[in-house]
Structure 1
Amino acid sequence: MTKTLSLTGMRSFVAVCETGGVRAAADQIGRTPSAVSMTLKQLEDDIGAPLFESERKGALSPVGRIVLDEARAMIAHYDRACLAMTSYAADRQGRCDVASVPSVAVTLLPRAVAQLRSEGGNFDIHVRDSDSSAIVDAVENGVVEVGLCVLAGKRPQLTFEPLFHEPLDFVCPVDHPLAKSKHPLKWSQLTRESFIQNGAAEALGIAEVEALAAGSKLTATNVSSNLAMVEAGLGVTILPRLCRWKCSNDIRFVPLADPRSSRTVGWIAKEGRSLQPASLRFIECIREQTQAGEREFGYATA
């Protein structure tokens, strides 16, 4: 029979890990240090293994590292479920937690939220932007309900619905020799460029991009950093076409000739999970805004 683990114990454990000690954790969660220590001891007894390497609680044991990840996911799920139930009881329509890749977060997502607001729904909407791998983790761990991202490979625990297919373009300063090219660029034209590596380009899995990245001395992890580096003349890069709508006039996006230089963006949620009304309506709005923006943004709807 599966043991029932205390939610209070999980909260105490996470607090100790995040604050670095029992006393600080006790202050954070409003309990006494002795009560926190007793709760941790009971949690270790229930799990059947120590969670820390020593009594000083300075380093997690291998079991403790696993428990920390699971405890955070469990607490996030519990808190969101409580909010959903109390929202319904208070005659509200719930909350939508969504994570999005940056290019969608600054283009389609605000339009979807505006549409949702204009319809009069009394929703709490919480938005965060991140890269696709972090978004997948957030959905799987119950931190957010809906993700707008690229899903690499099959994830049976997730539902994925494609929204659009988006090209990735060569990005360079406006005065770069290739900025005025009248034709899509071939990989052979880029071999001598100082390439700024990023996750979106790497995720393409194309040998020619990997060759460019192999010689790269500069990596930027988000869209804003990539664009700033290009604008400063530190190199060129490859980014999703949607990113060009928020860049300066000193940067040019030039199409690539290789049809493989594209990605499919869609929404994800946990397979088999009943989404809150706010999340369901948000998905409808993002579908509609994706359709409406096809000609403007230059992608192909799925």
Structure 2
Amino acid sequence: MWQIDQTSLRLFIAVCEEGTIARAAEREFIAPSAVSKRLADLETLCDVALVSRSPRGVRPTPAGEALLRHARLIMRGHERLQAELGEYAAGARGHVRVLANASSLVEFLPEALSAFLQANERIRVDVEERVSAEIVRGVDEGVADIGICRDFVATGGLDVIPYRSDHLALVVPRDHPLAHRTGIGFEETLAYDHLGLASNASLNALMQRIAAEKGHELNYRSFVSSFDAACRFIEAGLAVSILPLEAVARRGGSLSASGDGGEGGQRGEAARSRIVAVPLHDAWAERRFVICVGERAALTLAAARLVDHLLATR
């Protein structure tokens, strides 16, 4: 079985990214003839042309594109291995990279990660916000160890673990005509201007489709970029919005004034809150989160501990 060494892979990546052997050689501090020799040896080993040459430089062939994609994954994995082993040598126990969607970061993830980090002081966790489709792609490409996203995204060959759920609600100012309701159907909300969250593109599209199926139009008065901005616009009476009930409760909002309290709906909180969340009773209003990983059995010890913690505290 033939094997390709990491030096050849690194030089091949440099040639593809720089576009010429001379610039690749300069970048890697090596003679151009040595780069050419490595490239020729690679093509001999693979028994296929990996680059096409022209007076303007070189570019990868289809076979070269395939090698380039895998070479980047291999080199990135090697770099991560070195970094993680270096952290063990320095006394740390690991480094976990997490991609998470906006809803999880608003509703529950900060508290879950805070508890984990307090119990595992030598593990570092980096978190980056992405939309669900980008989260799946990032985990699949090895950019992150763990992804937290919605279950409707195609996850390919990733391991997917059911995690949490949340519930959508109509969020209105306390003096709104619908604020007293204990539940409502989405169709009833279409009589009012809505406020959209730009990060909820998939939900916005779903609601527009449902409205159209019912013969109505969903009128977005405005779009905002963050959950907190949406709540402030609602408080000011600009529009109503469909938002996760759990996120509203954490911000200090309440269930409808005549409700029984529910999640975050204590009457003391209701007295102070300027917004009210009226739960939607449509079937699609309950949404699910999943944890996705490349292969659960192959997770590092630190990443496996974090997954176990998230599942134990959901």
Using the size of structure 2 for normalisation, the TM-score is 0.68
Return the match for 2:303 from 276, 279, 294.
Answer: 279
The aligned residue for residue 29 of structure 2 is: 31
CA distance in structure 2 between the partners assigned to 1:183 and 1:25 by the alignment = 66
Residues 160 and 266 in structure 1, CA contact (< 8 A), matched pair in contact too: yes
The structure having more radius of gyration, on CA atoms, is 2
The aligned residue for residue 185 of structure 1 is: 184
Provide, for residues 70-128 of structure 1, a one-character-per-residue CA deviation record: whole Å limited to 9, x for no partner: 33322222222333344445553222121111222244332233223322531122221
The aligned residue for residue 261 of structure 1 is: 285
In 2 relative to 1, CA 120–144 (structure 1 residues): closer, same or farther, beyond 3 Å?
A: closer
SS of residue paired to 1:99: strand
Alignment of 1:116-265 (within 5 A): 116-152=116-152, 155=155, 157-171=157-171, 174=173, 177=176, 180-191=179-190, 193=193, 196=196, 198-201=200-203, 207-208=209-210, 223=226, 227=230, 237-244=241-248, 245=250, 253-265=277-289
Q: Which moved more, 1:239-248 or 1:140-149?
A: 239-248
CA distance in structure 1 between the partners assigned to 2:169 and 2:155 by the alignment = 28
Q: Which moved more, 1:38-47 or 1:219-228?
A: 219-228
Residues 97 and 126 in structure 2, CA contact (< 8 A), matched pair in contact too: yes
Using the TM superposition, give the Cα deviation of residue 166 of structure 1 relative to its aligned residue in structure 2, in angstroms. 0.9
The aligned residue for residue 259 of structure 2 is: none
Residues 226 and 237 in structure 1, CA contact (< 8 A), matched pair in contact too: no
SS of residue paired to 1:84: helix
In 2 relative to 1, CA 270–226 (structure 1 residues): closer, same or farther, beyond 3 Å?
A: farther
CA distance in structure 1 between the partners assigned to 2:222 and 2:7 by the alignment = 42
Using the size of structure 1 for normalisation, the TM-score is 0.70
CA distance in structure 1 between the partners assigned to 2:18 and 2:274 by the alignment = 44
Name which structure has the greater RCO, CA cutoff 8 Å, separation 6+.
1
Task: Note the residue ranges of structure 2 that are not aligned, 5 or more in a row.
Answer: 254-272
In 2 relative to 1, CA 10–220 (structure 1 residues): closer, same or farther, beyond 3 Å?
A: farther
CA distance in structure 2 between the partners assigned to 1:40 and 1:258 by the alignment = 60
CA distance in structure 1 between the partners assigned to 2:9 and 2:224 by the alignment = 33
SS of residue paired to 1:76: helix
In 2 relative to 1, CA 260–45 (structure 1 residues): closer, same or farther, beyond 3 Å?
A: same
The aligned residue for residue 10 of structure 2 is: 11
Provide, for residues 154-208 of structure 1, a one-character-per-residue CA deviation record: whole Å limited to 9, x for no partner: 7573322222221123356x38956625143323224454564733416869951
Task: Note the residue ranges of structure 1 that are not aligned, 5 or more in a row.
Answer: 291-302
Residues 194 and 235 in structure 1, CA contact (< 8 A), matched pair in contact too: yes
- The structure whose residues are more often strand, as a share, is 2
In 2 relative to 1, CA 228–183 (structure 1 residues): closer, same or farther, beyond 3 Å?
A: closer
AA matched with 1:147: G
Residues 169 and 278 in structure 2, CA contact (< 8 A), matched pair in contact too: yes
Q: Which moved more, 1:158-167 or 1:202-211?
A: 202-211
Alignment of 1:96-135 (within 5 A): 96-135=96-135
Does residue 74 (structure 1) correspond to residue 74 (structure 2)? The answer is yes
In 2 relative to 1, CA 45–238 (structure 1 residues): closer, same or farther, beyond 3 Å?
A: farther
CA distance in structure 1 between the partners assigned to 2:44 and 2:222 by the alignment = 46
CA distance in structure 1 between the partners assigned to 2:219 and 2:6 by the alignment = 47
Provide, for residues 2-32 of structure 1, a one-character-per-residue CA deviation record: whole Å limited to 9, x for no partner: x4334334434545666777677666x5434
The aligned residue for residue 294 of structure 1 is: none
Identical aligned pairs, as a percentage? 24
Residues 202 and 210 in structure 1, CA contact (< 8 A), matched pair in contact too: no
CA distance in structure 1 between the partners assigned to 2:131 and 2:156 by the alignment = 20
